Every structure is written in C-alpha cells, then in structure tokens.
Amino acid sequence: MLTFTDFAFYRNVYKGALCEADYNGAVFEAHAEIVFQTSGRAIPESMQDAVEVCECSLVDVIAGHKKSSAMIPDGITSVSNDGLKVTKSDANLTKVRSEERRDICVRFLQTPVNLMYRGI
C-alpha cells in the first residue's frame, strides 16, 4: 500500500520526532484516515503539500494513541498510584480519538480545495 509520505519526509521535512518503527506503525492508519475523510478523491497538485503534512500530523497522533493505550492494557479501567488516578473509558475514548483525527483533516484538507466535501 502506498502512503503520501515516507519516513525521510516525516523526519527531514516535517521534522517529526518519532523513530522509524513508530512511524511505520502508524502511517498506514493515517493514510487510511485521509482516504476515508476525502472519500478516496484524487489529490490535486495544489493540495499535495497539505495532504503530506496532514498525514504526518495524523502519524504523530496515532502513535501517541498507541503509546497511551499500551500504558493501560485492555480490560483495566483505572489505575491508582500515590493519589494519582487514571481512568480509561473505551467508549468515550474512541469517540474523542475519532474527532481528533477528523479535526486534523479539517485543518489541512479544506483549503484551497475542499477534499472533504461530500456533496455532488
């Protein structure tokens, strides 16, 4: 599967901080999110840079989500340590993460061409 960016772009142009393994672990999901949000539209040349930056931003967010999910394994809903309590709610968390991804796409994929337009 092709993506809009590669690790060299992520590191050298976008100036991302993830290691290559973390980037690779998130880039396909980021690509799929863009394809979903744009209904698979062809990307015009005028939007290529915006799409690349959007994918890198999504990679950072998705990798962060994976890291935070790994800290509290599935099946555990709360952790308490010396007065600090963390509660995990999967239903709300899924919605929040979905909205966060969509917000990133809205930020990058609507100007100068609205790739997220779902009308005719």
Q: What does the domain layout of the chain look like in residue ranges?
A: 7-108
- Residue, of 73 and 19, whose pLDDT is higher: 19
Q: Reduce the DSSP state of residue 84 to 3 states and report it.
A: strand
pLDDT(68) > 70 = yes
pLDDT(107) > 80 = yes
Q: Which residues contact 11 (CB under 8 A, 6 or more apart)?
A: 23
User: Quick one: tokens of 69?
Assistant: 């999910």
Q: Is the distance from CB of 26 to CB of 63 less than 8 angstroms?
A: yes
What confidence score (pLDDT) does residue 118 get?
A: 84
Confidence bin at 66 (pLDDT 50/70/90): confident
Mean pLDDT on 61-76: 75
pLDDT(94) > 90 = no
Burial class from Cβ neighbours inside 10 Å (0-12, 13-18, 19+) for residue 89 reads exposed
Whole-model pTM over 0.75: yes
Q: In whole angstroms, what is the distance from residue 39 CA to residue 115 CA?
A: 8
